[in-house]
Structure 1
Amino acid sequence: MTVTIDLTTEFQTARSQVHKERLGSLEDDNVFVEPADPVWMQMANKLRADILTLQQTLTKIEDKERQRQRSIFNDILAGEIKTLGKSATDQIETLQAGIVGLNAQSLNNPAEEELRRGVVGSLFASLRRETQNLRDIHQRYAAALALPETYEGAHLTSQARNISALADQRAELSSEEIKMRQQEITYITTGIAEIANIITQMSELIYEQGTVLDRIDANVYTAVGYAEEGRDILKHARKRQWKMRWCKKLTYIIIGVDYGLLLTYIFLRLI
């Protein structure tokens, strides 16, 4: 089972939970965590929001096409679809430039640099996917509209194709590198899942230890109860021992008196 985890969200969550405290072990060269997000993280969040806006634009194009099929104003809706297509192309160009700028930044923290590379790879993958979606939409809806291939439509398809190629060229992320990064992310995700399982097992062990401690407490309370009962029995036994001691003394006294009387009687008979 594959576990999908947004590393950016995990990083932001970790930063928000630590306020000017140590992040790591005692051997991390006194690295402190600042509560504010770094500039590159803010840029990545902005680019991710722009990709969502691009997805909404492509969704609007598909909605317009469905409306066009049921409306008598197909020419007007066809023009709106072309306008949205141009807007989507402009958004892709802006995103491509922003991601390239984000990829060109350099960070001093190796861990943060590695995280930034993974975020850039994810953003480029999303951009290529949306570029391909725009190309497919243009080809599919251009045929559905039964309109000749104009210069604008050809320019849109060519520009989308060039943007996808330019994104691959400038970012220097070939398909093999993407697979490697996806494999790295898979390894990281698997490691996080294993850590989560270990934490779960530790929680279960802690719960079991708590149950054992509860049982020990119950046994201690039971032992205390037995000790109190034993103390009461011992007190009662001591009282009985005291009574028996006095009974023994009285018995000896009575026997002594009897022997004294017997000796007196014998002495008187002899006289």
Structure 2
Amino acid sequence: MDLNQLAVTVNEALTDINKGVGYKINKYASIFTAEATAILFALKHIKEKNQLDQNWIIVSDSMSVLKSLSSSKINANINYLIFAIKELWWELSLTDTDVKFVWVPSHIGVLGNENADFLARTIVNMSDPSTGTDIISSLKKRMIGNWGKHWYCCTEIENKAHAYSLLDVPVNSTPWFCKFKNIVHRKFYTTITRMRIGHYCLNFHLHRKNIVPSPYCDRCQMQEAQSLDHIIFDCPSFGIQRLMLMDELLNIYGAPNLIPSTVTDLLKETTTYMSLYKFVHNTVNML
């Protein structure tokens, strides 16, 4: 049965239905929880009908919930509503009640969707239930928001301007290290983090902390500050390693003129992180 045939079938089934049931969930609930709750209450409605040997179709536009229902995985990360739905679904199957789940994008062509939307709008001002559903997600968002306010307000923090120019991303975005799940050694993460925030063990930074007497590079005679830019782009002591680095960067950027000329710009692309780490590890080994 294709999508158009399904829509006709469901429309015919809904012709005589002029009522609906609404339920307000907690304001902290996620979209996934809301969609799963709707399916659970649909199954409860079928059970309350108490009519055996009937066929039912539950139409949902939530692909994520339907995929979770079709999965056989069992672990602590699965939403508890999925287990509740499966249990009730199994109970109904014992009474020869056949329930099918069908995905329809945005309920296209399904009569009754407007009624469902109207019902949802009428209950939106109802008081919230007392459950603490998805409270962890709400707390996480609040913590991220508070950290963002602190980040933008604390202008007196040393090196904040440098770190801000490197990060240059929304405070609630996915952390950079989430893109390197296959890398397990801690030194990679700590080295890249030090490079991003400007707190590395080179003379340029150590001199500002009064740890070393001079900010100049002790690996060459150029009388330049031993910064990351100097080590990566200029210091003559690491010419061979620099050629290897530039060869890898050329594969990333495609053309020599497209390779950034500062470490700040290089660090804006996570694809460069492994190449930069290998260069630093094989030269100054900042940690």
- Which TM-score band applies after superposition, normalised by the shorter structure? under 0.3
For normalisation by structure 2, the TM-score amounts to 0.17
For normalisation by structure 1, the TM-score amounts to 0.18
Rg: which structure is higher? Answer: 1
